[in-house]
Amino acid sequence: MKVVLQNLTKIFPSRNKKSKEEVVAVNDFDFEIPDGKLVGLLGPSGCGKSTTLYMISGLQKPTSGRIFFGEDDVTDLPPEKRGIGLVFQNYALYPHMTVKQNILFPLQNLKGADKMTKEDMIKQAYEAAKLVQIDNLMDRKPNELSGGQQQRVAIARALVKMPRVLLLDEPLSNLDARLRLQTREEIRRIQRETKITTVFVTHDQEEAMSISDVIVVMKLGVVQQIGAPQDVYDSPENLFVAKFLGTPPINVFTGRVEAEKLYIGDAAVLDVPGVKDSEKVFVGVRPEGFIINENGPLECRIFGVDVMGRDVSVVSTHEASLNPTVRSIIDADNRPAPGAETVRFLLKPHKVFLFDGETEKRIYF
Ligand code: ATP
C-alpha cells in the first residue's frame, strides 16, 4: 500500500494567549511512500517527525494538505478506520492483561462484518506472536517481561490486524544499546516478511540509516532531503543534512574559492572545476576523506590518536575548522609517526562537499 502525502501542513496555534506566534510543525510535506518500503523520518527534536506520523495515523488532523493510502483519501478518516498499526516508544501495554490478552485486544474490538470467531482470533494472535518470537511468553503479564520483550508485544499487537500501514514512533528509545540493535534488526526482518509499508520515526541517524529503504531528513518542519540512506550520505544537498548524517560527524571548515581552487586557510586543498570565486564557503570533509601524505596541502596540529582496531582516528586541530577538533579515520598502517606534532593531509574529492557561505546549499563541482 503506497502512502501519499500531498502538501501536508500542520500549524499549532500559540499556547501563550498574549503572543500570536504559531508553530509550523510540518510545512508543505509532499512525498509518495512506495508500497512495501520502510521509510525513516529523521531529524532533531522538534523537527516535526512525530507530528507527520500522527497525521498519517489520524491522531492529528492536518491544517492543510491530503493523505492517501493507495487511491483512498484517508485525510478525514479517524485512526480506527485507516487500517494502521501504531507502536510508541513506551510500549503502552495493558498491565493487568497477559501478553495473549494484549495481542487479542484489537481483534476483540472489531465490529460488524470484521468481527472474528474466537478460534480465528487466537490463531491470528499466535501468528503475530510467532512473527516477533514471543509465542512462548503468552501467559505472562507485561511486568514479567524485559523491555525488549514488551516492545515485541507492542509490535505484535500492532501487527495482529494486518494493518495496511505500520507506524513506529521512536520504538527503540527505551531499550539498552544491545537490545536496540537486536530489536531494530528484528523490525527490519518483520517488515521484509510482511511487506507492510512502514514509517519509522527516530532522531538517531545511525538507526534510520541502518534499517530504512528511504530516509527523509527534516528540520523545523521542512523536508531537507529524501533518498536512499547511502545516497543521502554520499551526496547531501545542504550543510544541515551533511552534519546530521555520519559518525563520527563530518568535519566542517570555512574556506574560499579562487580561480577554481578551494582554499582552507592559505592552502589550496583541492581543484574545484566550474566553481565561481567565493570569499566564503563551508567545506565538509567526511572523516574517511583524509589521506596522510607528507606533501598533503592541509596541515593540522595533532591532538591525539584514538585506536579503533583496524583503523585509527587521528584527532587534530585547524584554525579554519568549525568543530573544536578535526576527526579523520585512517588505516592503522598509515598512522602518524609517534611523537609527530603535525600531520599533512590530501583530501579525497568525492568525500569533500562545498556549501554556500550564506544559504548553506551544496555547490557541486
Ligand atoms: P521529538 O523528537 O522531540 O518528539 P519531533 O521531531 O517529533 O520532536 P514534533 O513533536 O512533531 O517534533 O513537534 C514539532 C513542533 O511542533 C515542535 O516545535 C513542537 O513544540 C510543536 N508541537 C508539537 N505538538 C504540539 C501541540 N500539540 N501544540 C503546540 N505545538 C506543538
- Break the chain into its structural domains and give their ranges: 3-243, 248-363
What spacing in Å lies between the alpha carbon of 16 and ligand 1's midpoint? Answer: 15
Helix (H) or strand (E) holding 159: helix 147-159
Residue 178 φ then ψ, to 5°: -70, -45
What CATH superfamily classification does 3-243 receive? P-loop containing nucleotide triphosphate hydrolases (3.40.50.300)
How far is 240 from 212, CA to CA, in rounded Å? 20
Mean pLDDT by 10 residues, the chain (365 residues): 96 78 93 95 94 96 96 94 89 90 90 85 92 91 90 90 92 82 87 93 92 96 96 97 95 97 96 96 97 96 90 95 96 88 96 98 97
How far is 191 from 166, CA to CA, in rounded Å? 9
What spacing in Å lies between the alpha carbon of 24 and ligand 1's midpoint? Answer: 9
Contact indicator for 180, 207 with CB cutoff of 8 Å? yes
Find residue 87's DSSP bridge partners: 168
Give the residue from 112, 115, 110, 118 showing the smallest Cα distance to 80: 110
Predicted pLDDT of residue 308: 82
Q: Which of 14, 24, 51 to mutate to test the pocket of ligand 1 (most atoms within 8 A of CB)?
A: 51
Give the residue from 255, 269, 260, 312 showing the smallest Cα distance to 287: 312
Contact indicator for 218, 41 with CB cutoff of 8 Å? yes
Residue 329, number of CB atoms within 10 A of its CB: 17
Cβ of 12 closer than 6 Å to ligand 1, yes or no, is: yes
C-alpha cell at 345: 593531509
Residue 14, number of CB atoms within 10 A of its CB: 11
Q: Of ligand 1's atoms, which has the minimum distance to the CA of residue 218? A: 6
* CA nearest ligand 1 atom 9, residue: 48
Cβ of 49 closer than 6 Å to ligand 1, yes or no, is: yes
Helix (H) or strand (E) holding 128: helix 118-131
Q: What residues have CB less than 8 Å from 205, skipping those under 6 apart? A: 42, 244, 245, 246, 247
C-alpha cell at 275: 566553481
Helix (H) or strand (E) holding 218: strand 214-219
Give the residue from 178, 180, 179, 125 showing the smallest Cα distance to 153: 125
DSSP 12-29: EPPSSSS----EEEEEEE
Helix (H) or strand (E) holding 240: helix 239-244
Altogether, the residues listed in the chain come to a count of 365
> Cis peptide before 62, with omega less than 30 degrees from 0?
no
Predicted pLDDT of residue 337: 87
Find residue 298's DSSP bridge partners: 345
* CA nearest ligand 1 atom 1, residue: 45
Find residue 345's DSSP bridge partners: 292, 298
Place of cell 579562487: 258
* CA nearest ligand 1 atom 16, residue: 25
Q: Which of 9, 50, 218 to mutate to test the pocket of ligand 1 (most atoms within 8 A of CB)?
A: 50
What pTM was computed for the model? 0.90
Q: Of ligand 1's atoms, which has the minimum distance to the CA of residue 13? A: 29
Q: Of ligand 1's atoms, which has the minimum distance to the CA of residue 221? A: 14
